[in-house]
Amino acid sequence: MTLSLAATASRLLQRLAPRVLSSDITDPSRRFQFMSDLHLEVCQQYTTFDFPVTAPYLILGGDIGRLIDHDGLLAFLQRQTARYERVFFVLGNHEFYGMAYEEAVQKASQLENEPSLEGKVTLLHQGRHDLDLPSKPGITILGCVLWSQIAAESADRIDTMVSDFKEIRGWSTTTHSATHASDRSWLQSELRRIREEGEGQAQPRDVIVVTHHAPLVKGTASPQHEGNVVSSAFATDLCLGEEWSGVKHWVFGHTHWTTDLKSSNGVRVVSNQRGYVFPGKTRALDQRPVKHTFDPSRRIQC
């Protein structure tokens, strides 16, 4: 009887145990922890926001804070470089707030090269980083803000309703869409190059794309915002064509909607977005299903 109860208990525990992919167990060097939209500028949380380490690499997908808050953002990054092998940092729209576009890009480059970060932060502003690990294939991370293609019929409303056009000096809906076109063209060019490099290779490189703005419209924001007049300021249907099918994971932010879905051409599109959090306050967002709830321990595996 005792043995029977023990066997039953064992089977129950096996069913309740979290499912972990075998590759996640055998090759931790291919894990990437990812998050975005921390908005540490809210109540200056740069030194107080904390989370556990669950991977050797950390992807920060934009809206971590503001570049104008140099000391606070630097302090946050210093804590992460002490804990991770490398931190990949893509800028979001809020990083630019209080500055002109080119000024902010220059500030970001200076931040990346701060001696206290020991060369462990990689700014991905139309940037590529190749990881050649003992396990094959190699991994390539591509990153840019991406911005979005603003619908012409919504441009006037978006200019009035979206804060970017007040908070980023000299920014306009025309500049926004033009910068999106530049980022999009760069991504397409890099993916072509990666395909060419992989010709004749037994194992083509795994590719992770990180953008702040969303590469799909449907499923990347809360359903309540579907069809909103300003939605084209947040997302563009991008990763649907065959040219994007070589991407294994596409990490995005900006919409304050955590999700994990697959595009029609098989690209896994994921986000892990905290949003605006005031210290000590409970949010209605915390009642969302687990799939759509921010979890700083989330990771992807190549």
Q: What is the pLDDT of residue 11?
A: 44
Structure tokens at 217: 């419209």
pTM above 0.75, yes or no: yes
14 Cβ contact partners less than 8 Å away, ≥ 6 residues apart: none
CA distance 183 to 145: 7
CATH, residue 107: 3.60.21
CA distance 268 to 159: 32
Q: What is the pLDDT of residue 56?
A: 98
Q: Could you tell me which of 216, 195, 214, 192 has the C-alpha nearest to residue 204? A: 195
Structure tokens at 30: 């291919």
Residue 16 located in a structural domain: no
Residue 220 located in a structural domain: yes
Residue 137 located in a structural domain: yes
CA distance 104 to 110: 10
**Structural domain span for residue 163:** 21-301
Q: How many domains does the chain have?
A: 1
Residue 74 located in a structural domain: yes
Residue 3 located in a structural domain: no
Written as tens digits, the pLDDT of the chain (302 aa) is 443 444 444 444 443 333 333 344 568 889 999 999 999 999 999 999 999 999 999 999 999 999 999 999 999 999 999 999 999 999 999 999 999 999 999 999 999 999 999 999 999 999 999 999 888 899 999 999 999 999 999 999 999 999 999 999 999 999 999 999 999 999 999 999 999 998 888 888 999 999 999 999 999 988 888 888 999 999 999 987 888 888 999 999 999 999 999 998 889 999 999 999 998 765 555 566 778 899 999 999 99
Residue 129 backbone dihedrals phi, psi, to 5 degrees: -135, 130
Q: What is the pLDDT of residue 7?
A: 45
Which amino acid is it at 292?
H
CA distance 52 to 252: 21
Q: What angle do CA 128, 134, 140 make, to 5 degrees?
A: 15
Distances, alpha carbon 274 to alpha carbons 42, 209, 229, 297, in Å: 12, 20, 24, 12
Residue 6 located in a structural domain: no
CA distance 124 to 278: 28
Q: Which parts of the chain are beta strand (E)?
A: 31-35, 57-60, 86-89, 121-123, 127-131, 139-144, 206-211, 249-252, 259-262, 268-271, 299-301
Buried b (16+ CB within 10 A) or exposed e, 235-262: bbebbeeeebebbbbbbbbbbbbbbeee
Residue 2 located in a structural domain: no
Residue 10 located in a structural domain: no
CA distance 90 to 93: 10
CA distance 184 to 126: 10
